[in-house]
Structures are given as C-alpha cells and as structure tokens.
Structure 1
Amino acid sequence: MKIDAAYYTGNGSFELRQVEDVPPGPGEVQVETAYCGICGTDLHVYLGHMEARIGDNRVIGHEMSGRVSAIGEGVEGFAVGEPVVVRPLAHCGACPACKAGHIHVCHNLKFLGLDTDGAFQNRWTVPAHVLHKLPAGMALDHAALVEPLAVAVHDVRRARVAVGEDVLVIGGGPIGMLVALVARHAGARVTVSEVNENRLKLAEDMGFATANPKREDVAARVMAETGNKGADVVFEVSGTQPGVDLMTAVTATRGRICMVAIHAQKPQIDMFRFFWREIELIGARTYEITDFDAAIAMLSDGIGVETLITEIRPLAELPQAFKALTENPNSMKTLIRVSEEAA
C-alpha cells in the first residue's frame, strides 16, 4: 500500500511522493495524520536556515492530530481508530538532565519531525510512549494546536502566573496569543504588545487589552495602569531587541520574566534592572508530559484556540501554504489537512 508524503528537498521546495506504507515495529504505533500545523520552526526549514540539520530529503511537521491506524508488537492501551496527538520529543535517558527527570531538556534532545521524519504524510509511525489520547468527539483540527498550546502551558507554569496578577505578553504571534490565553485561564489580567495591526485586532476580538509600541510608550502605559507597579510577569515572545528592552523596563519589583522566543542574535539585556528590582529571569523550553495533558484538558474546556486558525489547506497545497505564510504577515496558524479519511 502507498501513502502520500511531502518531502522537503532543499531550497524552499517540497515534493509530494507516494511511498510504501511501513507497518509499526515493536513498541511503535502508526497514526493516520488528520491535520498538521505549520509552525515557526517549519518556516525556518522552508527558508533554508536548517538544512545542515535536516538535509534535503525529510518529511517535516509535528503539530498534529490523528487516529491510531496500526499497533506494533508489545504495545498496550491503544486501539485502532482512537484520536491521538504526538508529543514530538525523543530523549536519551542517560544525560544529567534526563537522570534528574527533566527529559524535555535532554542534552541530546531530538525532535520528531525535524531530526526524524514527521507528520506531513498520511501515516506517521512513532514510539508509543509519545502518544496522548484525545477525548472522544474533540475536533481534530482544533486538536492540531495541542502541541503549541502545551508550549504555552509550560511557559505559564514555569512563570508561576497566579490569579489577579498583571501579565504582559510581548509579541502577538501564534505562541504569544496561546500564552495570553493560558495566562488568562490562570486568572491573570493580560495585555498583549504587538506591532502588527491585524494581530492587535485579533487580540482585541479575543478580549485582551492591547498596546502597539510603534504608537505609544508601552512601559509608561503599563506603569500607569498598575499604579506604577509594573507587570508581575512578562513573557518575551517577540524575539526582538525592542522586546527585550521593554521586558526589563516594565517588570515589577520581584517580578518574573519568562524568555519564550528564540533570538537570532544574542540580545543586549539591561542587567541593572535585575539588580535594582530583584527581577527573576526564567527560561522555558518545549514542554513536559503534564503540560500536554493540561493542554488537552484546556482545549476540551473550550479555551478558544480555534480563533487562531487562519486557513486549512490539503497536503497537495503544502508548498503554496508555506509560500503564503512568508508573504502574509497577518496569518496566524495554517493547518494542513493531511488525510481526508482521518479528518
């Protein structure tokens, strides 16, 4: 039996191929991919920034949802047809981080869908232990956002956001908006700082206070609105130097800053502010098992991630979807409908 798979072939190109459907081996489960989102890392691949890592013959994609299609020897607890998502991390189990129980920041961490073939194919075979079951009836297009939502859950949990706190999210892209949703779910008052007017409008429509640093002094406004206290928690999700400048200027005494974005260049950081205000800087990378479970529960409760879905395209239009994302800064989350049968 043949399946459709979209291979990245280098130089911003994808090739749709029909390949053999390989059954799962011992300890593995094969998933029929329903939907897979295009994330920022996938865009870096498309733009040629990661070819030394992934080469020119790789199926990428990891923000997915689907249904179990085959079960390998020795795997228990799953049934064919069950809806699932994949937590796309592979840890070594032997490094100091793994031995301390922090497998999500393994020193030798591999990403399924980058370091191995991923979900832009009809059927994806993965280790059984990375699967998470979904509630029956959950919309699989919405469920494709479990993985990025788990990133936001981890960020908010690491930052210890509490009820009644003032939170500033710097950067209103997909991850920034998911962080805003989770922080609000935790009981915080959330403001989103963003320069793109369309994204600001979306944030406002979702019920968030917004600020545009191109039009106003965001730090002065936050100080005024918090009685000169500042933001209890700031999430830097912009990946820009102005975002870093704002995060230190606006954080309250003994406040927390959570670094979410990956910066292309080492940013300059005002360390004096950390001393004078006893600010805490927190790193947050990927997610843990509990974050995935919490993300599924929040999605089931209707946290509202579907608002971020800009469009859904079939697998055959994957090249056009990537091209459109690079040309349209207003787009939020594009999903690829990988298998009509699973969807």
Structure 2
Amino acid sequence: MIASYYEGNKTFSVKSAIQVAPGPGEVRLDVAYCGICGTDIHIFHGAMDKRVDMPQTIGHEASATVAEIGEGVTGLAIGDSVVVRPLDNRGETTADRGISHICKDLKFIGIDAPGAFQNSWTVPAFTLHKLPANTDMKTAALAEPLAVACHDVRLGEVKQDELAVVLGGGPIGLLVALVSQAVGARVILSELNPFRLEFARSLGIETVDPREVDLVKLCQERSGGSGADIVFEVSGAKPAALSMTDLLAIRGRIVVVAIYPQPTEINLFQFFWKELQMKGARVYEPEDYEKAVQLVASGALPLDRMITHVETLENIQQAFDQLEHAGNAVKVLIDCRG
C-alpha cells in the first residue's frame, strides 16, 4: 500500500507503507475517495502544526470498503461500503454530560490520529456508517461535510416555508442551503465571491451579493416586513457576524457554524429587543450522519456537481497546491484506491 504524509512547510510525501491490522473493536478499510476539507487546508498552511504529529497522514472526508474486521466487531461484513464519522470519543468523562461529539478529550481522526489519504486505513468500528447498496462512492465522500450541514439545520430547527439566510457560500454554506431547501425552507445565500455566487445559482440556490443588494430590505420584502426566521453564519467574517441580527424577525434564530478564533462584535441590543436566540454548532452526531447517508443514497441533492476535481493519491501535493490558488474549485477529491 501507499500513504501520503504531511511533512510540514506545505509539503506532502507519498511512500510505501504497511497495512495496520485491526485490533479488537477495529476495522481495516480500503479507502475509495477522500475529500480535501478546509481543515486540511489549514493544516497545509501550518496553522495546526502543534496539533498534528508530523509526518502524519491526514484527511477525514472518506468513503471506503470494509477489508478486514477485528475481534468483537459485529454488524459489518467484508465488502460493505461505509463512510467514517471521524470522532474518537473514548476519552469522554461524566463531566462531558454525555455530549460525546464535543467532549473535552475528543480526538478528531485525520488530525489527532492518522487519516484517510492512504490506500488502507484502520479505524474504530463505532465510527462507521454503512452505505446502502450501489451508493456512488464519490458522492459518498461528501457525507462528512453533509453531516455538518444536517447537524446545523437540525439544531436550527428549520421548518417548511421559513425564510433562511446563509452567510457564506463555501462548501459548507452550499450544503446548509441545500439541506435547508430539502426541508422546505426558502433560502437566500449571501456571498461576495463571483464564482461562488454563480456556482450556487447553478445548484438552484437564490444568491445575493450584499454589496449590491440591501439584504435587510430583501428579507423584509420576502417576509411581509418581519425579517428572516433563521440565519446561518458560515462565513467567519466579522462584518457578517455584526449584520446577522439586523436580518432577523422577532424571535429569530442564529446558528453559528463558522469558527471564530478571536472574540468578535455582535449586536446584543438586538438580542434583547427582538428576543433573538443563538446556538453554536460543532461537527455532528450519529443521527446527522445517518441523515447525510440517506441524502447521499437518495440522490435528492446535486452532490455530484459539487465535485469539481478528482486527483490521484500520488498527486496529492499538486492537488493541494492547485486548490490553494484556484478560484474555481468547490470540492476536490483524492482517489485513494491506488
């Protein structure tokens, strides 16, 4: 087998490696495809060097086939198609209140432990979700980011015919918009990048550039003067965080999806005046993964169109180099089959 290794300094190597036999409670997978995530780009830029034990195989948006099963594992068979929910919560304690996807000692597989940019990957069996027969393995590699969107929409309690505004048109923003539309919401996606605006429109999402359209006025027009029911902040941009309260109706809701490493300004007066609500949303829970698997298998969302490029594992360095500079990429997959 071969595996890629992040070496630091924006450098990957690809080398021969030895398959890791599964121990008790583990499964060895033949990896099919793995998507390049924004987190992987952060690693590539050196922003997570203190967390990644270099040289290390990264990657976590994977589809795969069961190749070998460890002792004590039930419910899986050799040849099963699966996706991996890359959260190792075995460090959870009673202090974590049973919220295992955000427990204090959570390990993210592909960051804190070896990931999927390799032919063969051994993981805990409890991280696996089986795919229905004949599920396309390329689109299945989008199950992980899609599960993020399913979690966001579920926590936001989005309902049919509600007006939802998504701030930010990257891959997660697009998926949040698509999942919101799938439950019947009326969605407006706000984005500055012209390529992302046009790409979102091609997926059937209404888009606006807030520099050209008064988004507050548009929300009022679409809601009989009241404003949006819910805002998803996915951009990570301070101006978006400051503006999101202006878009909302009385008792409107905010779901913060983006990561803000530093405190940022928000309008707390609007929270008092309108009785607004705000929730944070971090990764996903098993039920969100199951929902994502259902959506992938159903073909209800145009996930295949979000895959703008596929590169081989041997060319992973070129894939990251191109993605860093490309302005017209949405989701890039690495073909790990070798």
TM-score of the superposition, structure 1-length normalised?
Answer: 0.96
Q: Give the superposition deviation at 1:56.
A: 2.1
> Residue 53 of structure 1: SS of its match in structure 2?
coil
Q: Which amino acid aligns with 1:296?
A: V
Which residue of 162, 167, 172 maps to 1:165? 162
Structure 1, 42-51 or 241-250: larger mean CA deviation:
241-250
Q: Give the superposition deviation at 1:48.
A: 0.4
Which residue of 7, 17, 20 maps to 1:19? 17
TM-score of the superposition, structure 2-length normalised?
Answer: 0.97
Matched residue, 1:230: 227
Matched residue, 1:75: 73
> Residue 184 of structure 1: SS of its match in structure 2?
helix
> Residue 192 of structure 2: SS of its match in structure 1?
coil
For residues 263-308 of structure 1, what are the alpha-carbon distances to aligned partners after superposition, in whole Å with 9 as ceiling and x for unaligned?
2432111111111001100111010011000110111221222221
Which residue of 131, 134, 139 maps to 1:142? 139
Which residue of 169, 173, 178 maps to 1:176? 173
Matched, 1:94 2:87: no
Alignment of 1:1-343 (within 5 A): 3-91=1-89, 92-97=91-96, 100-302=97-299, 303-340=301-338
Q: Which amino acid aligns with 1:29?
A: V
> Residue 257 of structure 1: SS of its match in structure 2?
strand
> Residue 52 of structure 1: SS of its match in structure 2?
coil
Distance 2:54 2:24 in 1: 28
Q: Give the superposition deviation at 1:216.
A: 2.2
Structure 1, 114-123 or 243-252: larger mean CA deviation:
243-252
8 Å contact kept, 2:20–2:121 = no
Q: Which amino acid aligns with 2:56?
A: R
Q: Give the superposition deviation at 1:194.
A: 0.5
Aligned residue pairs, count:
336
8 Å contact kept, 1:95–1:108 = no
Identity of aligned residues (%): 47
Q: Give the superposition deviation at 1:322.
A: 0.8
Q: Which amino acid aligns with 2:103?
A: C
> Residue 324 of structure 1: SS of its match in structure 2?
helix
Distance 2:78 2:286 in 1: 23
Distance 1:4 1:137 in 2: 26
Distance 1:269 1:111 in 2: 30
Moved over 4 A (4+): none
Q: Which amino acid aligns with 1:132?
A: H
Distance 1:53 1:253 in 2: 42
> Residue 230 of structure 2: SS of its match in structure 1?
strand
Q: Give the superposition deviation at 1:176.
A: 0.3
Q: Which amino acid aligns with 2:6?
A: Y
Distance 2:304 2:264 in 1: 33
Q: Give the superposition deviation at 1:329.
A: 2.9
Q: CA RMSD in A?
A: 1.0
Q: Give the superposition deviation at 1:106.
A: 0.7
Q: Which amino acid aligns with 2:206?
A: A
For residues 145-190 of structure 1, what are the alpha-carbon distances to aligned partners after superposition, in whole Å with 9 as ceiling and x for unaligned?
0010000000000000001100000001000000001101111000
> Residue 50 of structure 2: SS of its match in structure 1?
helix
For residues 169-217 of structure 1, what are the alpha-carbon distances to aligned partners after superposition, in whole Å with 9 as ceiling and x for unaligned?
0001000000001101111000100011111111111111111012222
8 Å contact kept, 2:3–2:57 = yes
Distance 1:243 1:305 in 2: 26
Distance 1:284 1:319 in 2: 31
Q: Which amino acid aligns with 1:236?
A: E
8 Å contact kept, 1:191–1:210 = yes
For residues 47-89 of structure 1, what are the alpha-carbon distances to aligned partners after superposition, in whole Å with 9 as ceiling and x for unaligned?
0000011032110000000100111111121111110011000
Structure 2 unmatched runs, 5+: none
8 Å contact kept, 2:53–2:112 = no
Structure 1 unmatched runs, 5+: none
